[in-house]
Chains A and B, each alone.
Chain A
């Protein structure tokens, strides 16, 4: 009967462990599988995430918004367009920055240690725990030791010390002495195990010589390990799906943005703003619009700068920033960005409008031609009547 119960329990445990393993392996496969037809931006992100940002050690090029990270992204993009593989691109960076530019150590050479040691430690640790748990596995040991401990207690040879484990053992022995049922004996076994496993003290007396057993019950360790694997697998699956869902949007022009290299102080929200401090580029853009509407152009530009730092290459944001600068009388600051936007997005009405206005503010003779191009491209625009008025000498 007991044998049958044990066999059933083992089978159930085996099924659970197999299930957890299958789930974990599926999660890993899912996480490792390439996304469907990744966009250029995703491909650049993938390579950039494996390279250390040159100017800010510890961050990847993907995460960094520093001066040279944007240049690095451009180079990755150009090389991908030329058909070079991610490994060739990484080698290109290693040739210039040394192997420390790789965020994952190179498996060739000394970097191999970093790959091998964690695995070895894991295997060695697992073997140690396995052996340690296996020590108490023989079912005949526990009753013998319990009986020996009880006999020693009765004979006065076992005198537990005043540690919490000693107190617990004394209580268990007293109870078992009075009422020697199976539950009381089991309590003695477990209390004695904890007592012998407690940190050694100078005055440790009268313990029955016995081999150390596990401090934690084996089932708890097994269930804990299975739980940890399950949580890790679930996290892997969840992260894998979220990566895919965020990566399917329209790819913005993956171009470097000439944002100010000096760090921009984060603006605080305007009065009446109820969105809290923004955390995402989209929120910073909203905040920038709110400032723009509140006629606070400096704060609006600062908010757009924060959005651009989080998402370099967002040309739409760059255009909004330039627009605010032009309208607030700082067309000269907006011109370099606008010229680059015009080069990247030729014959785009919105870019031409803001560029033309900036050129006009700076007295550039090209302003007229730029604004006329805007009118040709978008004659029905809400801004068209005003622009015609300007061109007619208004």
Chain B
């Protein structure tokens, strides 16, 4: 990669028209139009010299491929289940964006917290949620990750430090800042003895459970490009910049907020990194269709944020092949636009790398991985199908830590709180 990850101008086609072509970016955006960079169709991001991903073992890179294929096969089954009316409500598929979640999440430590928006199946699977729990959640079954009460938009997985998918556009971003704040607070403040006005230590603060030396963490707050125009994001970015907390705002820039192209709804769409400048944080743009490129650039950024305890902002260029949700007539884009992006599909790019550059896989091996992932997705569907619905008593739980008397519903709920007079 010749383009320095930290120099905004270098990747900005408007200041450096050659940049997009030179660095192999997926496309460049002018102030009025998004279009493909000529000559880059089908090509991976250009690679020069040593890159961080060169240090990944073959097993690790094959895992990236497997993660992406699993997401795609899983989402194909979701689409099928939705069309069969097995999945209710809304369903936003991740097909096309796989390299983004897989590349960023594999740049993290397991206990770095993440939080995302409603297109969240990919993150959940990449973070290690079982496909069964993920699918069962969408089916509304008790075996789902949130016992079937959250659905497609609410993939929570606390053991894997996934603080969920969130349905209100942009509202998750200040929460992500809070996750980073807590991590930094734990590392820097919580074990510090509190002293009184006389300088003498006060009684030991909270130490339960006993703490080991906490490590530096980075939190990721994912958002779609549509969330760029929500106030909550700007409040979250301002606080993060102001307080210097290690949160990375990851814009999954798939060009469309539902049906509105980014330049129709967002200022500076051709150079989103400028938004980071205003909040005093580093901003970079990354080609998000090539997973190794995502890893190379994003891993370096994560390491910098972890070390310096600073926030950052990433414009990650990606594309969704399907509609915004399952009910999207897609009048806002031409079919050949979708087809042209598919020429540079993230899974195909990585397969090509593994087959021709690393030469660690054969086509037969790839087919085997695809078959395995298909089997996992089908198994998830069958598992979800066979799982029981939540008992009606589940309605009464988890509003508060303890069930409160005299709130409806109660266990004997009929028409309001059960009336002993009737």
Q: Do A and B come from one complex?
A: no
